[in-house]
A and B are shown apart, each in its own frame.
Chain A
Amino acid sequence: MKTLILGLGNPIRGDDAIGWVAAEKVYERVKAPGLFLDLASVGGLYLLDLLVGYDRALIVDAAETGEHKTGTLFRVEIRKGDTKSSYCTMHQIDIFQALDLGMKLKLDMPEIINFYGIEVENCQCYSEELSLSVKTAIPHIVNQICAEEFG
């Protein structure tokens, strides 16, 4: 089985880098045959490009829901069949839509995609520093993802 750990975000936009940092640490800890790491600053259709060819994907990304305390990790499972058949955004095409499109085009999409969002404080400025609250949460975030995904 080919598994992808995909860190999303922008490393020069403050907390937006947390997806990269967490994905890298999870990969370093688990490092098993068939496990691959990718880090990207993309969304939409570009996301689809990255997912093709894997059986399973874990996506780690910053999130600004305003519903969680900063540094909180939350998981969204995406399965084939969960997808929505219509959408109206394009470059902002989300994971559901990318998967939907991939399925309709009969591309080799992962059977399992788990999305891990990390609530962040600030992605609106140019900085290579994570905020303290996000930085402090890293060990817990990595432990939690490893426990959920790799037992």
Chain B
Amino acid sequence: MTKNKITIEPITRLEGHGRIEIFLDEEGDVSRAFFQVPEFRGFEKFAEGRPAEEMPVITSKICGVCPTAHHMASGKAVDGIFHVEPPPPAKKIRELMYSAFLVEDHALHFFFLGGPDFIVGSDAPAAERNILGVIKKVGMEIGKEVINIRKQCRHIISTLGGKVIHPVSNLPGGVSRGVSREEQKEFIETGKASVRFAEFSLKIFDDIVLKNGKHLDLVSGDTYRHETYYMGMVDEKNRVNFYDGNIRVIDPNGKETARFAPVDYLGHIAEHVEPWSYMKFAYLKNVGWHGFKDGPQSGVYRVGPLARLNVAEGMATPKAESEYERMFEMLGGKPVHNTLAYHWARLIELQYAAERLLELARDDEILDPNIRSMPTATPSEGVGVVEAPRGTLIHHYLADEKGLIKKVNLIVATTNNAAAICMSVESAAKKLINKGKVSDGILNMVEMAFRAYDPCLACATHSVPGRMPLMIRICNHMNETVQVIKRD
């Protein structure tokens, strides 16, 4: 019987629920592959009529994993609505909190999500490719260290954000609380610990991945390579910036094709809809949508750690800058198109976020009580953009003259990357599934492509106790199940 459809659900180590569909041809080879998202819809309607200043608190609940990113983008959009610029101390406090979030999130991703594939091995049994496998390989202390650094960073977020999970501190024109001298001392210690942790993480990557030919081949090989455009936020010197700056776009050859203020995003980004997915696929307007294709003729672009490093001309902190130079030297220059290099780029960003956290913690301006500019203008429209751990996050609100929300548009990192994720999954599947032959190792390789982007999908916050099994369903052309492979 011909096996012409493979379904993998849910994808392991993926936030929210996603599903990969692989369609095989009559020969049992991959013809097309997609990832699908059961998206929770209706947020725009939910927000309509609410006071704009509530948005930073509401939007932080959209996702149980990236609340701080939504809170930041939303806070900036609300600044725009009220035409008010936060004073420098408030901006620094926001960025300090955001840097702590980036450290925590990137550390979590490497050791818990993407890293196990490299540290434990992509062909190791699934039951070992997790943090416990990492601990077994690297030592118990690393597990404690990850927990510890996260705890310290979360302490900064809860202190400055007002709540540990969903921050509430961003107000139009600033923040709700300042920083005391005692808190500053704690934050400095956390900053120092974060810098050490990032250095240690990069050393592990160096020892286990870069010095292992097989793993290095994965990172630098062409299995997951796509020559796409890249987009990310940069400062005035074109260096990576997570909190503020302009958006820069480069083409597959590394040439700048756009550099625009966040408020002008609609002039550069459009969204394509496919009948088989709720998810919208973002593309570059001036190039156009020409399908799930690589190359300069396709408007598909990528965001996130590797994209940010590709669009930037450097990092704003010394240790991260040195790692940035090293990565591009080892991988043959810019831009790097190898998808699994996202993991390496993420660690370099971890280093930058840690250094930036320390820099801001040491800056006495965060002690200045001038933390809010009071809004006085009539509310209208605002766009807030930050670089979320997974990529560019855009919040755009339109309010009436009373400040009540009339319209909302959100473009999340995963929407920016959606087309490229489909391409990566298909590319990996085509190379790794032949004549209908499917094994746990091969499927994990397909999933590895997916995990590199660390997509955040439906943002489900919980499930009933009892893990979700990984289930692979193989169907014939009549959509009848002919084989089920389940990974408990």
Contacts and interface: CB of A to CB of B under 8 A. Distances in A.
B51 to A, nearest CB: 15
B127 A88 contact: yes
Interface in B103-138: 108, 112-113, 126-132, 135
Contact of B470 (A11, A88, A94): A88
Interface stretch (A24-32, A58-66, A134-142): A58-66
Interface string B264-289: 00000000000000000000000000
Given A43-B461, A61-B462, A105-B140, A97 B64 contact: no
Given A61-B464, A89-B468, A126 B12 contact: no
Interface in B1-33: 10, 12-15
Nearest to A107: B147
A126 B40 contact: yes
Nearest to B464: A63
Nearest to B14: A91
A16 B458 CA distance: 14
Interface string A76-100: 1010000011111111111111001
A13 interface: yes
Interface in A44-69: 45-49, 61-65
A90 B110 CA distance: 11
Given A13-B40, A43-B462, A61-B462, A85 B132 contact: yes
B434 to A, nearest CB: 24
A97 B143 contact: no
Contacts of A48: 147
A35 interface: no
B143 A105 contact: yes
A29 B394 CA distance: 43
A10 B61 CA distance: 7
B464 A41 contact: no
Contact of B460 (A43, A46, A127): A43
A21 to B, nearest CB: 15
A40 B67 CA distance: 12
Contacts of A100: 132
Contacts of A126: 40, 42-43, 45-46
Contact of B464 (A16, A45, A64): A64
B64 A41 contact: yes
Interface residues of A, number: 50
B216 interface: no
A125 B65 CA distance: 18
A117 interface: yes
B61 A11 contact: yes
Interface string A98-119: 0011001111000000010100
Interface string A4-33: 000011111100100100000000000000
A41 B166 contact: yes
Contacts of B40: 13, 124-126
B44 to A, nearest CB: 9
Contacts of B64: 10, 41-43, 46
B165 A41 contact: yes
Contacts of B67: 41
Contacts of A124: 40
Interface of A: 8-13, 16, 19, 40-43, 45-49, 61-65, 76, 78, 84-97, 100-101, 104-107, 115, 117, 124-127
Interface of B: 10, 12-15, 40-43, 45-46, 58, 61, 64-65, 67, 108, 112-113, 126-132, 135, 140, 143-144, 147, 150-151, 154, 164-166, 460-468, 470, 487
7 contacts: A8-B461, A16-B461, A45-B108, A90-B12, A90-B130, A101-B143, A126-B46
The 5 closest A-B pairs by CB, nearest first: A86-B127, A126-B46, A90-B13, A43-B462, A63-B464
